[in-house]
Structure 1
Amino acid sequence: MSGHGAPQAQPTDCHDLRVAVVAASWHDVVMGGLLAGADRALADHRVEAPVVVRVPGTFELPVVAAALAKEGFDAVVALGVVIRGGTPHFEYVCSAATDGLNRVALDHGVPVGFGVLTCDTEEQALDRAGLEGSAEDKGYEATAAALATAGTLKRIKRHFQG
């Protein structure tokens, strides 16, 4: 299982963070699970009034994540799924989404939770989507990671600002 060795972090109070979730629309069932996982993490961390924005597909995640980061959100969570097919499309979309979301985080200094599933089969995606019977909950994990990183960045800023 790919989740082996994941850190065991307890939810923290993030009520003071502005958080946005940008989610692709392809693969309804998988995306429903990822969004539900993100919602659980946001609730567990006491995030108030998160903004959720939908985009057509995973390729569109970076540009909208960048717009949200520019609007002053403390964290952005990107959720999507790409399932391998018989053409190089899989590699192009996965690379563009990964590189683009990394660029958003670095260019804007805003943590971007990487909840993009890059799977060989639909079964693998379903097993990571946080659905009943899934082995993993990547929507929850990506959201919790973004929130933890946003908290760390706030602590760093407070420490060095006096």
Structure 2
Amino acid sequence: MSGHGAPQGLAEHLTTTAGLRVAVVAAQWHERIMNGLLDGARRAAAEAEIEITEFRVPGTFELPVAAARLAPRFDAIVALGVVIRGGTPHFDYVCSGATHGLVEVSVRTGTPIGFGVLTCDNEEQALDRAGLDGSGEDKGYEAFQAAVLTELTLR
């Protein structure tokens, strides 16, 4: 399981999360999986007592431009998306573009971005990472924690 060895949560940082401005940007494709990722991010936010602002974009490829526009207004961003391999190179282009775009935005702006983009070979792999009942992992939750913990480290 890839979640093995994950860092501890935000519990010990609750006194330092006051006033954090966090955006969650989520793609609309693969609704069931996206709902699981969003629920994970919302749960992590609630546990950390952080109010979030949510934005929806059409797909994973649009996450970087949304993050670029939002970075000046937020302390951290959580990017959530799902790309499932098909029979064409489309998967490679979308995954590469989204990954490189989000990294570029984060480095250029200094705004931490939690990478909650699932890049899976099939729907079963995505469902197992979506934080749904029966899922082995909760990447929406983990992406939220990664963004916020990075911001707290850099303060």
Aligned 8 A contact 1:15 1:45 in 2:
no
Letter in 1 for 2:97: A
Query: 2:7 matched to which residue of 1?
Result: 7
What is the TM-score when the length of structure 1 is the normalising length?
0.91
Inter-partner Cα distance in structure 1 for 2:4 and 2:145: 17
User: Could you tell which deviates more after superposition, 141-150 or 3-12?
Assistant: 3-12
Aligned 8 A contact 2:10 2:145 in 1:
no
CA displacement at 1:121 relative to structure 2: 0.5
Inter-partner Cα distance in structure 2 for 1:85 and 1:15: 43
Task: For 1:83-98, list aligned pairs within 5 A.
Answer: 83-98=84-99
Aligned 8 A contact 2:67 2:105 in 1:
yes
Q: Give per-residue Cα distances to partners, 1:42-84, cap 9 Å, x unaligned.
A: 0111102x110000000000000110102x2000000000000
Aligned 8 A contact 2:40 2:131 in 1:
yes
Aligned 8 A contact 2:106 2:113 in 1:
yes
Letter in 1 for 2:59: G
Inter-partner Cα distance in structure 1 for 2:53 and 2:120: 27
Query: 1:54 matched to which residue of 2?
Result: 56
- How many residue pairs end up in the alignment? 152
Inter-partner Cα distance in structure 2 for 1:38 and 1:9: 13
19, 36, 39: which one aligns with 1:36: 39
- Structure 2 unmatched ranges of 5 or more: none
Task: For 1:68-83, list aligned pairs within 5 A.
Answer: 68-70=70-72, 72-83=73-84
Letter in 2 for 1:4: H
Letter in 2 for 1:7: P
Percent of residue pairs identical: 67
Inter-partner Cα distance in structure 1 for 2:44 and 2:112: 15
CA displacement at 1:153 relative to structure 2: 1.3
Query: 1:120 matched to which residue of 2?
Result: 121
CA displacement at 1:10 relative to structure 2: 4.0
What is the TM-score when the length of structure 2 is the normalising length?
0.95
Inter-partner Cα distance in structure 2 for 1:64 and 1:10: 26
Inter-partner Cα distance in structure 2 for 1:98 and 1:44: 27
CA displacement at 1:8 relative to structure 2: 2.6
